[in-house]
Amino acid sequence: MKKRPVTSQQVAELAGVSQSAVSRCFSPKASIAPKTKAKVLAAAKQLGYRPNAIARSLITRSSRTIAVVMSQLDNPFYAQMLEYASRRFQQHGYHLLLFMSSDEQETTSVMSDILQSQADGILMLAATLSSSLAKECVARGIPVVMINRTVAFEGVSQVASDNYHGGYWVGCHLVESGCERIAFLAGLADSSTSSQRRQGFLDALAEHGAACWAEAIGDYDFATAQAATRALFSRDVYPDAVFAANDHMAIAVIDTLKAELGLQVPQDVAVVGFDNIPVAAWPSYQLTTVQQPIEAMVDEATALLLGQIASGQVTGERKVLPVTPIVRASAVSGT
Amino acid sequence: MKKRPVTSQQVAELAGVSQSAVSRCFSPKASIAPKTKAKVLAAAKQLGYRPNAIARSLITRSSRTIAVVMSQLDNPFYAQMLEYASRRFQQHGYHLLLFMSSDEQETTSVMSDILQSQADGILMLAATLSSSLAKECVARGIPVVMINRTVAFEGVSQVASDNYHGGYWVGCHLVESGCERIAFLAGLADSSTSSQRRQGFLDALAEHGAACWAEAIGDYDFATAQAATRALFSRDVYPDAVFAANDHMAIAVIDTLKAELGLQVPQDVAVVGFDNIPVAAWPSYQLTTVQQPIEAMVDEATALLLGQIASGQVTGERKVLPVTPIVRASAVSGT
DNA sequence: CTGTTAGCGCATTCAG
DNA sequence: CTGAATGCGCTAACAG
């Protein structure tokens, strides 16, 4: 049977002090005589007392909880973010309440749960947020930070890596490597990350007097990217380079090229990805890619959320963090 | 500035009913006249009212929250589990509070946070739990379920896949495929999963009158597994098969064999893993492995936790779920 | 079916 | 510095 937890009242009785004295012992900033504190702590230890965070939240109006919304944990990139974010917030005495939500409809119901949960802030990783929901959060004064997402609403903050310049670098790198028939494999159609990378890439090509040779859509999904690869390489003349909007798809491209089409990377086709997930460094792939500053992004998001929580102001800032090109064997200069 | 949320009291005033009437409208099982309910819901919508879950938890003594403790999210196997568990609990109106904890010392401090959080249950994924902490949870009547972990304490429940028979199958499969110099690559030294897989494997070999040709330790880590592979293959006569205690290491073995040692899989060396992570199916690897029933394991853990929460009894059950051999190209019969 | 009442466990006034 | 009193927002008896 579930026992009733020990309360501060019981500790107070055992220690021969008032309940408020006990409370003060567990509040960092309250003033309490060392002697009474010792008595109280002794009694607390004896009874196995732990302050009830729920009761505390009710009165302080702060749950010390951040709601994080994710759509996919199978992408290691987001898994890494989540792990790091959790550790980061833990350091500041906050904990993450996890919500999975794939489609926008689900997000609506999830958002309702979040609002009820009294989370002090919301961290959106890879999920879409309708502007009406965003508006509701802002109206309630709950700070929202989105990572690598765009939403057409003022109140929410955004942290992103410099997708445009990442794409731009890829374009330059491939042209300068001598590639002439460069294809782009997009992620999700409505994803801002994919379209920003694409735009930078196209602009780079244009500045070099080149153009994108072919495009396909891979939905950030392995199987879809494989199908797209087959389509891109079904003609007699096929691309001599593929820029995939993320590493996961780039891996799919390489695998399909090698296993099904008998093509060599980078001898026959150069391949570049985006993210620099751990797999990209594996010997089988040696994927040239653009590294996103995961930790810096999370640090920024953490600072934004905690800052807004502390000040009680929701501001809606935008931060763009620099990316780092990583040249590996899948697309080297002078190929 | 953070606005004070609207309370049931305010809704009651607007609707011209008592505060408890409002409360009943948001409790599924309470009886309320359809007419008053309509009035209340109208007022609630007008004010944008959401019940405060914190206040509810305080009085119901149930946070509808499960604490999950993880040590690594970079292993896709655990990431998948977390995602599925989150969705599963969400369906039942529970949410996950995420705690990251690598070493045992950290677990102690994390456990303190969990106890304060008033979580209704604890789900341990890939983390060690000292028996003193386990005892404290049980003493408080908080159900604990560990997945794929062993702890020397009565009160906690455990869900595991049948590691022994998985290892046993691998042993049989390799011997029957004609392999004669079979090596084992262990995970973490103190991990029960690794040692159970190993034991089943060794028993299978013994029953076929064979023995393990060599052993090494890969710590469930890519780089360590690579180093171990180099060591295993440094002699003139090298293994003709490697059983790695998980897929992640098996991938490292294959990559090292192909990229560094110029060996073919499975022609020169057969490789088998464990888990059946998504990568195992990729064309470059085609890894023969043993699939763990992730969803069934999580379903079982969910049922165990929710059942114990509902009954108020912590029982400490053990469940072992069957595994499924997956034969792919990296180790086929008759090689 | 509805309103009234009494707390849940704790932080925070306010006197002393 | 300490204790007594108050109430956070809500659910759960209890009468009506």
Tell me: the pLDDT tens digits for B280-315? 999 889 999 999 999 999 999 999 999 999 998 899
Q: Looking at the structure, do residues B131 and B45 belong to the same domain, yes or no?
A: no
- Note the strand C nucleotides within 7 A of protein beta carbons: 1-5, 7-13
Question: Which of B20, B38, B59 delimits the end of a domain?
Answer: B59
**Which phi and psi angles does A179 have, rounded to 5°?**
-75, 145
CATH code, domain with A104 = 3.40.50.2300
Residue B170 is predicted with a pLDDT of 97
- Look at B259 and A284 and tell me if their CB atoms are within 8 Å: yes
In a domain, B329, yes or no: no
Residue A335 is predicted with a pLDDT of 46
Chain B neighbors of A48, CB-CB under 8 A = 136, 139
- Look at B284 and A80 and tell me if their CB atoms are within 8 Å: no
Q: Looking at the structure, do residues A112 and A221 belong to the same domain, yes or no?
A: no
In a domain, B22, yes or no: yes
In a domain, B260, yes or no: yes
Closest to B285 (Cα-Cα) out of B317, B254, B326, B246: B254
In a domain, B149, yes or no: yes
Q: Looking at the structure, do residues B169 and B217 belong to the same domain, yes or no?
A: yes
In a domain, B331, yes or no: no
- Look at B136 and A80 and tell me if their CB atoms are within 8 Å: no
Listed as ranges, residues in chain B with pLDDT below 70 are: 1-2, 152, 334-335
Closest-CA residue of A relative to B140 is A3
Could you tell me if A263 lies within 8 Å of chain B, comparing CB atoms?
A: no
Q: Looking at the structure, do residues A157 and A298 belong to the same domain, yes or no?
A: yes
In a domain, A49, yes or no: yes
| Mean pLDDT (whole number) for A51-61 | 95
Residue A248 is predicted with a pLDDT of 93
- Whether omega before B266 lies within 30 degrees of 0, making that bond cis, reads yes
Structure tokens at B110: 């994390």
Chain A neighbors of B82, CB-CB under 8 A = 73, 98
Q: Looking at the structure, do residues B220 and B247 belong to the same domain, yes or no?
A: yes
Q: Whose C1' is closest to the CA of B59: which nucleotide?
A: C8
In a 13 Å sphere around the CA of A97, the CA atoms on its Cβ side amount to: 25
Task: Determine the length of chain A.
Answer: 335
Task: Read off the pLDDT of residues A120-176 as tens digits, 9 standing for 90 and up.
Answer: 999 999 777 777 788 888 889 999 999 998 776 788 999 999 999 999 999 999 999
Q: Looking at the structure, do residues B168 and B240 belong to the same domain, yes or no?
A: yes
- Check whether residue B62 has its CB closer than 7 Å to nucleic acid strand D: no
In a domain, A328, yes or no: no
In a mutational test of the B interface, the residue from A116, A220, A254, A279 whose CB has the highest number of chain B CBs within 10 Å is A116
| Burial class (CB within 10 angstroms; exposed 0-12, middle 13-18, buried 19+) of B280 | buried
- Note down the domain range covering A259: 163-292
> How close is the nearest chain A Cα to the Cα of B179, in Å?
25
Q: Looking at the structure, do residues B72 and B25 belong to the same domain, yes or no?
A: no
In a domain, A335, yes or no: no
Q: Looking at the structure, do residues B113 and B74 belong to the same domain, yes or no?
A: yes
Q: Quick check: B124 and B143 in contact, CB under 8 A?
A: no
Q: Looking at the structure, do residues A53 and A67 belong to the same domain, yes or no?
A: no
Q: Please indicate, yes or no, whether the overall pTM of this predicted structure exceeds 0.85.
A: yes
Q: Looking at the structure, do residues B49 and B85 belong to the same domain, yes or no?
A: no
Question: Which of B17, B38, B59 delimits the end of a domain?
Answer: B59
Q: Quick check: B274 and B289 in contact, CB under 8 A?
A: yes
Ranges of H-type helices in chain B = 8-15, 19-25, 34-47, 53-60, 76-91, 104-117, 131-139, 163-176, 192-207, 222-232, 247-259, 294-311
Name the domain count of chain B.
Answer: 3
Range B205-208, long-range pairs (CB < 8 A, 24+ positions): B205/B171, B205/B175, B208/B171, B208/B172, B208/B175, B208/B176
Q: What are the distances in angstroms from CA A181 to CA A100, A215, A231, A233, A269? A: 40, 11, 15, 12, 10
Q: Looking at the structure, do residues A194 and A142 belong to the same domain, yes or no?
A: no
Structure tokens at B195: 């040692």
Q: Looking at the structure, do residues B148 and B189 belong to the same domain, yes or no?
A: no
Task: Read off the pLDDT of residues A237-292 as tens digits, 9 standing for 90 and up.
Answer: 999 999 999 999 999 999 999 988 999 989 999 999 999 999 999 988 999 999 99
Report the alpha-carbon angle B90-B95-B100, nearest 5. 125
Chain A neighbors of B52, CB-CB under 8 A = 58, 116, 118
Structure tokens at A68: 């994080």
Residue A54 is predicted with a pLDDT of 96
Residue A164 is predicted with a pLDDT of 96
Question: Which of B59, B74, B100 delimits the end of a domain?
Answer: B59
